[in-house]
Amino acid sequence: MFSSKINSNLVKRAAAAPLNRLYSQLALSVNVNLPNGTSYEQPTGLFINNEFVLPKQKKTFEVISPSTEEEITHVYEAREEDIDIAVEAAQAAFNSDWATGDPAARVKALLKLADLIDQNAETLAHIESLDNGKSLQCSRGDVALSSQCIRSAAGWADKINGSVVETGDTHFNYTRREPLGVCGQIIPWNFPLLMLSWKLAPALATGNTIVLKSAESTPLSALYMANLIKEAGIPAGVVNIVSGFGKIAGEAIATHQKIKKVAFTGSTATGRHIMKAAAESNLKKVTLELGGKSPNIVFDDANVSKAVQSLVAGIFYNTGEVCCAGSRIYVQEGVYDQVLSEFKAAAEGIKIGNPFDEDVFMGAQASYAQLTKILKFIEIGKNQGATLITGGERVDDKGYFIKPTIFGDVTKDMDIVKEEIFGPVVTISKFKTVDEIVETANDSPYGLAAGVHTEDINKAIDVANRIKSGTIWVNTYNDFHQSVPFGGYGESGFGREMGQESLDNYTQVKAVRIGLTKKN
C-alpha cells in the first residue's frame, strides 16, 4: 500500500467502479498503513446498531487512493435488504429516549463526539487525504470544521423550543418542534467527513435517527467516525452508516417508505432524481445541496493582492472540487491586466502533488471519473475557442493530478462558462459596470455562492443584495463558519446546513390548541 508501484489496471478498474465487486472473506476491520509511518484500524463493515456487521450478500468493493491509484482496502457494500435492516434499527432508536427524553443526553453525547474528533484529528485528516486525495492542509481544515459543527449543534440541542400562542382566554395554544423520525442522508466524495458532520449535527441535535450512505469513492472516514460515534455514547441505532452505490443503496434510501426525510449533497441531476423518488414513495421531506457555477467578482477599487488570494482560494482550494467554487471570475476593466497577471503567477506557483507533503496546497482529484470529466471540459474549452492561459493538463500520468487551469477570451454560451466542472478550471473575463456584472452574475440556473471584492462598503452591500445566491462572500471566499448557514438558491438546491437554520430542516411544528372551560 502506498508504494510507488503502479498497477496500470487500476486506472481502468477505477473508471468502472460499479462493476468492481467481488465476494470475499474480508475482515470487519483491516490495518491500514499511513504515509506518516503510523497505522490505524479501518472498519470495513456496515455500521448498524452500533456494531460493524456483514451485509446480507457479503459483497465488497475496492477503495482507491487517488494520489497513487493503488488499492487501500475493500469495504462491504450495502444493498436494499441492508438498508431495510438499518432503517429498522434507526426506527427502534427513534422510539427510545433519544427522541423524547431530556435533551441533556444529546448535548453530552455531541460534545463528547466533538472532543473525540479533535483527539483523532490527525488520523482522520490522514484517512481523508488517503481516500479523497486532497492535501493534508485541506483535510485538517475539514476535521476542525467538523468538530466545530458538532459542538455548535450540541449547544442547540437543549434549546429546540416551541412557543405559546395567544388567542384570547377561551383557549391555550402552544407549539412543539418535534423531530421527523428516521432521516436518510446521502453524501458526496469531495468533503466526505465534513459533509457527514454537516448532516449529522442538526439531525442529532433535534432528536432524529439516521441512515447515512457515504460516496462509493470515499467511504473510509465515515466508517472511522462510526467508532467515535459509539465511543461518544450515542445510543445504538441512532446513527447507522453504510458504504454502497448510489443506484442501489442510495436509491433504497430515497424510495424507502419508512424514511421521513432525505438530505442530499451532490450533483443537480441526482438531486432532481432524489426529489422525484421522494415524491413517488412516501413524500418524505427533501433538502438538496447541489451544484454551482459561482461568480467571483473583482472591482477596480478592490485590494488587488487580497482579491487575488480569494480568487486562488475560490477555485483551487480542495482541487476545485467544491460545490461553491468561484469558477467564473469577472474583473473590472481598470484592474483586469494586473489581476490576471498576479492570478496567473499565483496559480503557477501553487504546490501540487503528494497530499501528505506539508506544503502541498493541491492534491489529487478524487477519482478517475472526475479526472476524465475535468480533462474533457478542458478539451471542450479549447475546441469552443477559449484561450488557455495556463495549465490544462495532468501533472504526470500517475495519480489524478491536474494543473491549475485558467481560460480567457470566453463567451457566456461556452460550456466551460455554463457547466459545473468541479475541478481546478476557471474562466476569467472583463466587465465595465455594476449593472452589467450583476446581470452576468445572475445569468445561471445555479445560485450557491458569489464573491465580491471591493473596498467600497456601499457597493459591496448593493451587489450582495442583488446577486441571487445563498452565500455572498465579500473580500474573502470559501470561508465557512459553523454558525453561518449555507445552501442554495435556484438549481443549487434548498435547505440550509450549519447555523440555526439547519435545525429547521430536521423538525416539524405541532400546534396544540386547548379549549378552556371557565369556572365561576
So which residues are the catalytic ones?
Answer: 289
The least distance separating Mg ion from the CB of residue 131, rounded to whole angstroms, comes to 4
Q: What angle do the packed helices 192-205 and 121-132 form, to 10 degrees?
A: 130
Nearer to ligand NAP, 254 or 335 (CB): 254
449 binds ligand NAP (CB under 6 A): no
Quickly list DSSP for 408-423: ES--TTSHHHHS---S
Based on the shown chain and the rule CB under 6 A, indicate whether residue 376 belongs to the binding site for ligand NAP.
no
Under the criterion CB under 6 A, does residue 446 sit at the interface with ligand NAP?
Answer: no
157 binds, among ligand NAP, Mg ion, none (CB under 5 to 8 A by kind): none
CB 35 within 8 A of CB 70: no
- Smallest distance, Å, CB 331 to ligand NAP? 25
Q: 3-state DSSP call for residue 320?
A: helix
Kindly state whether residue 64 participates in binding ligand NAP, applying the rule CB under 6 A.
no
Q: Does 488 bind ligand NAP (CB under 6 A)?
A: no
**Looking at beta carbons only, is 300 or 479 nearer to ligand NAP?**
479
Can residue 290 be called a binding residue for ligand NAP (CB under 6 A)? yes
What stretches of 82-148 adopt beta strand conformation (E)? none
| 250 lines the binding site for ligand NAP (CB under 6 A) | yes
Stretch that binds ligand NAP, among 48-56, 159-167, 212-220, 403-411 (CB under 6 A): 212-220
The verdict on 487 binding ligand NAP (CB under 6 A) reads no
Secondary structure string (H, E, C) spanning 334-366: HHHHHHHHHHHHHHHCCCECCCCCCCCCECCCC
Q: Is 82 in the site for ligand NAP (CB under 6 A)?
A: no
**Selection from 63, 11, 69, 12 nearest residue 42 by Cα:** 63
Crossing angle (nearest 10°) for helices 104-119 and 121-132 = 70
Asked if residue 387 lies in contact with residue 407, where contact means CB atoms within 8 angstroms, the answer is yes
Cβ(310)–Cβ(279) below 8 Å: no
Candidates 2-10, 54-62, 180-188, 279-287 — which segment interacts with ligand NAP by CB under 6 A? 180-188
Closer Cβ to ligand NAP, 22 or 104, answer by number:
22
Nearer to ligand NAP, 183 or 187 (CB): 187
- For the record, the C-alpha cell of 32 comes out as 491500514
Rounded to the nearest 5°, which phi and psi values hold at 479?
-115, 100
| Contact partner at residue 131 from ligand NAP, Mg ion, none, CB < 5 to 8 Å by partner kind | Mg ion
246 touches ligand NAP by CB under 6 A:
yes
Instruction: Choose between 43 and 292: whose C-beta lies nearer to Mg ion.
Output: 43
Q: Report the half-sphere exposure of 124 (CA within 13 A, side-chain side).
A: 31
3-state SS assignment for residue 162: coil
Among 108, 140, 258, 373, binds ligand NAP (CB under 6 A): 373
Q: Kindly give the pairing relationship between strand 328-332 and strand 425-431.
A: parallel
- Interface residues with ligand NAP (CB under 6 A)? 186-190, 213, 215-216, 245-247, 250-251, 254, 265-267, 270, 273-274, 289-291, 323, 370, 373, 420, 422
